Amino acid sequence: MKNRTNILALVTPMKLNGSVDYISFQNLLSVYKKSIDTVLISGTTGECSTLSLYEKLCLINHARKRFKNIMVGCSYHSTKQSITFLRKARSMGVTRCLLTPPYYNTNSDRDVVAYYHYIATRANIKITIYDIPSRTGKELGIQTLRKLSNIPNVDSIKESSGNLRRQLDITKGTKLHLYSGDDSTCALSCILGSYGIISVISHLFPDLVNHMINNQSIYIQNSLFNLNKLLLSPDYPNPSSVKWLMYKNNLIHSPHVRSPLQQPTQSHKSILIKEYMHITKWKTYALC
């Protein structure tokens, strides 16, 4: 499969006072328009849990002026809030959302299927399931995924565990289109049949990631491995590290992240820079 999709899980730039930096956001959209086909607004990397409804809609409004393909993250505790947000996003031209299973509440598989069905039949938007047990506390079994794939508008899944056996089970055992949510294993995911990647490291190396997924390049995947691990370190949760590198590369005006996230320590920043510079030195050769 050629021309796999690189979906950029876009950061939400912040000013030092914590407000959204819409000027930096517009600049990012212009930069990534050259190499990215689809952007994800208000995902985990976009600090969705800290954004108000108004801020999310403002971000969508800016994005739709530059991108035809926009996905929005939707992870509310309230089903009613999810539907309200998705209806507003749909009215602005958004055609797809990334939807986690309900979290915090302890939900049975039956509850999860009912939740997706309820939203899918009321929001009139394509749904990509966001399977991320580390954040929701629940892994969706293959039988549950089969049931979800029979719901109108539920047609794909972002699988973020990096578990390749599980990804193979999804591609062979369900009708869902698989998208990798793990930059560090995405070339292998493409070999297993994934349709692309929802990526964080593409903020820094979009062309490398495009080349990697369309050529199933294990060499590029392995070369980016250390930086990917640094960007998603549990000690420095995403997006604090990628924002800091973007700031150092003059892509955003401030590396600010909203509480409860914190800036990386000075020692972590030094390691990030070292690994980033290592990659920039050989990336031209990798694309040859």
pLDDT tens for 115-153 read 999 999 999 999 999 988 877 777 899 999 999 999 999
Residue 66: per-residue pLDDT: 96
- pTM over 0.75? The answer is yes
- How far is Cα 194 from Cα 180, in angstroms, rounded to an integer? 7
Domains of the chain (ranges, CATH numbers): 5-217 (3.20.20.70)
103 is catalytic: no
The token duo for 195 is 């349709």
Q: Of 157 and 140, which is predicted with more confidence?
A: 157
Residue 132: per-residue pLDDT: 84
Q: Which residues, at least 6 apart from 85, have a Cβ–Cβ distance to it below 8 Å?
A: 53, 56, 72, 74, 76
Type and span of the H or E element at 79:
helix 79-91
- Among candidate residues 115, 116, 130, 195, the one labeled active-site is 130
pLDDT tens-digit readout, 71-120: 999 988 889 999 999 999 999 999 999 999 887 666 789 999 999 999 99
54 is catalytic: no
Among candidates 27, 100, 98, 97, which has minimal Cα distance to 65? 27
pLDDT tens-digit readout, 179-191: 999 999 999 999 9
Q: How far apart are the first and last CA of the chain?
A: 20
Phi (first) and psi of residue 6, to 5 degrees? -105, 100
pLDDT tens-digit readout, 226-239: 999 999 998 889 99
Query: How much of the chain exceeds pLDDT 70, in percent?
Result: 97
Q: Angle of helix 218-231 relative to helix 240-248, nearest 10 degrees?
A: 100
Among candidates 243, 240, 266, which has minimal Cα distance to 253? 243
Average pLDDT over residues 156-161: 94
Neighbouring CB atoms inside 10 A of 192's CB total 18
Phi (first) and psi of residue 124, to 5 degrees? 55, 55
- Among candidate residues 56, 147, 158, 243, the one labeled active-site is 158
pLDDT tens-digit readout, 212-262: 999 999 999 999 999 999 999 988 899 999 999 999 999 999 999 999 999
